[in-house]
Structure 1
């Protein structure tokens, strides 16, 4: 990634974290070039990019000020309600199908779906938008036999979990990991963000009631539009006080 783009991502992150709040003045080109170890031209281009994105306003003699932005709608979910609330997703977001095809599973996908390497799998790539803003980038793999139960057009109007239920492959359990990653160029373009921007990454393997793996999904979320909430209570434990997640968090 070009140096100026790396600076844009880092400065945007500092703005969104509140380090530089509305009306705050960002460091000047000379200070940024020294702090980031880049040329003044690179620092200037990074600030110009932030201005073009509507995050800051540059004024001669007054510096670069952070602009006040209208609060964006945020999708919130709890740990215990992580498996998509189908009705909520369908009523509050829109989906755009970027690709839909069948291919032979490589080692990683075959392992996740517990299939032989080279087995047929369905791959779909979707973007969900919230109030017109791209919120998530979803790459989903299904065993070929499961995927053949619906068509690409169905994914444009119906949530994946609902389609699986209709086909008799309802999800009974799932295991997932949550981590952080950086946006690759194609993902960044789909989510309307800069390449290298931070994203929340969720990988989930879902099983049907008979313990068969029916879905492997990698979901990438814009952290300013998708939040995970958890309420916790401090309780006494054998080795001292422990934090415990409350049941029924919403």
Structure 2
């Protein structure tokens, strides 16, 4: 059993229990999103009427978003930072269903004007919403609400996740595919780039003592991906390449769900076609909030565990 101590939190450890590769993340240092039926389920704190409001999908118009700010205010004499006061009110409004799921929150400019704060303060309040898992920051489009029922949001830092990803270096990796391509509309939106731009796409399979345990498809903006070579991807975890390329990871947004093995993944992971696989979809951002990596990771549960320490 191997342990890592996290110096950025009061207590954290990542346990690797051989022979099955595993990833343990302390929620004090990593943000996760667990769909219903996943690993953790927590009760919804609200009444039935509020739940029904949250279940109703739709889009929040610019006028409606602006009207939600009418009853909000900040207290400049309070010891609570202004950005956090704004964040708390936006969070409560989202949880109460005042903003439709997949609709958009007020813009940085609207928040700045309404509360009489700087754009930096407004930006930080919206960044807090994204870190809390209640919204998604979309470059050039706005901040989209992400409050659908059937999910449990767990907020924290990122240091433990980074440490656990570095631990992959002790395993061997096989590069299946590598190249620079034009992204799909979905990948372009996630990375905040133009569809005419290029991304580095790589498919790799990591192997442990009991066989292949992860199938990773990664997308990285070309200007970042060209900082390393194809051969680098045949020996190092992507997190190491990002850091050696000068990227300072600030946060990540992750969703854990499941899928079935198709023809290609079943052959690469040595499982039967149609066998259930753990699927983790993660987007990594730098300190400026720019997306630097999007990954789709598939794991056979017989060879891999994702462990979460709740303290």
> TM-score per shorter chain, which class?
0.5 to 0.7
Q: Which residue in the other structure is 1:139 paired with?
A: 217
Q: Which residue in the other structure is 1:85 paired with?
A: 164
**Is 1:73–2:12 an aligned residue pair?**
no
Deviation at 1:87, TM superposition (A): 4.4
**1:36-90 CA distance string (max 9 Å, x none):** xxxxxxxxxxxxxxxxxxxxxxxxxxxxxxxxxxxx8211222333345244211
**Is 1:94–2:172 an aligned residue pair?**
yes
**1:182-213 CA distance string (max 9 Å, x none):** 01110111101111110000000000111111
- Aligned partners of 1:225 and 1:196: how far apart in 2? 17
Deviation at 1:216, TM superposition (A): 0.2
Q: Which residue in the other structure is 2:280 paired with?
A: 202
Give yes or no for contact 2:23–2:306 (8 Å, CA) kept in 1.
Answer: yes
Judged with a 3 Å threshold, the aligned counterparts in structure 2 of structure 1 residues 76 and 156 are, in CA distance, closer, same or farther, namely: same
Deviation at 1:225, TM superposition (A): 1.2
Give yes or no for contact 1:106–1:118 (8 Å, CA) kept in 2.
Answer: no
Greater relative contact order (Cα < 8 A, sep 6+): 2
Give yes or no for contact 2:250–2:287 (8 Å, CA) kept in 1.
Answer: yes
Deviation at 1:218, TM superposition (A): 0.3
Instruction: Tell me the TM-score normalized by structure 2.
Output: 0.50
Judged with a 3 Å threshold, the aligned counterparts in structure 2 of structure 1 residues 85 and 216 are, in CA distance, closer, same or farther, namely: same
RMSD of equivalent CA atoms: 1.5
Report the number of matched residues. 161
Please state whether the residue corresponding to 2:161 is helix, strand or coil: coil
- Aligned partners of 2:25 and 2:233: how far apart in 1? 25
Within 5 Å, give how 1:215-234 maps onto structure 2: 215-231=293-309
- Aligned partners of 2:284 and 2:233: how far apart in 1? 18
Within 5 Å, give how 1:19-30 maps onto structure 2: none
Q: Larger % of strand: which? A: 1
Q: Which residue in the other structure is 1:167 paired with?
A: 245
Gap regions ≥5 residues in structure 2: 1-17, 27-159
Q: Which residue in the other structure is 2:183 paired with?
A: 105
Please state whether the residue corresponding to 2:176 is helix, strand or coil: strand
Deviation at 1:224, TM superposition (A): 1.3
Please state whether the residue corresponding to 2:273 is helix, strand or coil: coil
- Aligned partners of 1:193 and 1:166: how far apart in 2? 34
Q: Which residue in the other structure is 1:156 paired with?
A: 234
Give yes or no for contact 1:179–1:200 (8 Å, CA) kept in 2.
Answer: yes
Give yes or no for contact 1:172–1:209 (8 Å, CA) kept in 2.
Answer: yes
Please state whether the residue corresponding to 1:128 is helix, strand or coil: strand
Within 5 Å, give how 1:12-91 maps onto structure 2: 73-80=19-26, 81-83=160-162, 85-91=164-170
**1:193-247 CA distance string (max 9 Å, x none):** 111110000000000111111000000011111112234xxxxxxxxxxxxx31x
